Amino acid sequence: MMHTDVVIVGGGISGLYTALNIQDNVKVLVITKEELSCCNSYLAQGGISVARDSNDIQRFIEDTCRAGGYNNSLEAVNILVKESRQNINRLIQLGVKFDMDGNDFNYTKEGAHRINRILHCKDRTGEIIHGVLTSQCKSKKNITLSENVTMTDLIVKNNQCLGIQIKSGDVEDSVSAHITVLATGGVGGIFKSTTNNTAIKGEGMAIALKHGIEMKDLDKIQFHPTALYENSEKQRFLISESVRGEGAILINNKGERFIDELKPRDVVTKAIDKEIKNNNSKYVYLDARHLGKTFLINRFPTIYKECLNRGIDITKDLIPILPAQHYIMGGIKVDTKATSSANNLYAVGEVSCTGVHGNNRLASNSLLESLVFSHRAAIDIGIKLRKLNCDKYKIKKLSFNQSDNKDILINKILSLRGDLKDELYTNR
Taking the complex as a whole, how short is the minimal distance between the CB of residue 251 and ligand SIN, in angstroms?
Answer: 19
Residue 242 near ligand SIN by CB under 6 A: yes
Taking the complex as a whole, how short is the minimal distance between the CB of residue 403 and ligand SIN, in angstroms?
Answer: 29
Residue 4 near ligand SIN by CB under 6 A: no
> Minimal CA–CA distance to 315: which of 283, 288, 339?
288
CB atoms within 10 A of CB 404: 11
Residue 352 near ligand SIN by CB under 6 A: no
Residue 241 near ligand SIN by CB under 6 A: yes
Residue 297 sits at φ, ψ, to 5 deg, of -70, -35
Buried b (16+ CB within 10 A) or exposed e, 250-273: bbbbeeeebbebbbbbbbbbebbe
Beta partners for residue 333, in sequence order: 353
- DSSP letter assigned to residue 188: G
Taking the complex as a whole, how short is the minimal distance between the CB of residue 272 and ligand SIN, in angstroms?
Answer: 14
User: Given 265, 299, 361, 376, which residue is catalytic?
Assistant: 265
> Does residue 168 sit in helix, strand or coil?
strand
Could you tell me how far CA 227 lies from the centroid of its own chain? 16
> Does residue 256 sit in helix, strand or coil?
coil
Residue 363 near ligand SIN by CB under 6 A: yes
Angle at 413 between CA 408 and CA 419, to 5 degrees: 140
Residue 366 near ligand SIN by CB under 6 A: yes
Q: Provide the mask over 151-190, with x wherever binding to ligand SIN is found by CB under 6 A and - wherever it is not.
A: ----------------------------------------
Q: Which stretch binds ligand SIN (CB under 6 A): 100-108, 237-245, 301-309, 391-399?
A: 237-245
Taking the complex as a whole, how short is the minimal distance between the CB of residue 72 and ligand SIN, in angstroms?
Answer: 15
Q: Which stretch binds ligand SIN (CB under 6 A): 20-28, 92-100, 358-366, 397-405?
A: 358-366
Whose Cβ is closer to ligand SIN: residue 165's or residue 366's? 366
Residue 127 near ligand SIN by CB under 6 A: no
Residue 46 near ligand SIN by CB under 6 A: yes
What's the rounded Cα separation, in Å, for the pair 333 and 330? 8
Q: What is the DSSP string of 352-401?
A: EE-STTTTSPPTTHHHHHHHHHHHHHHHHHHHHHHH--GGG---------
Q: Is 85 a catalytic residue?
A: no
Size of the site for ligand SIN (CB under 6 A): 10
- Interacting residues toward ligand SIN by CB under 6 A: 44-46, 238, 240-242, 363-364, 366
Active site residues: 265
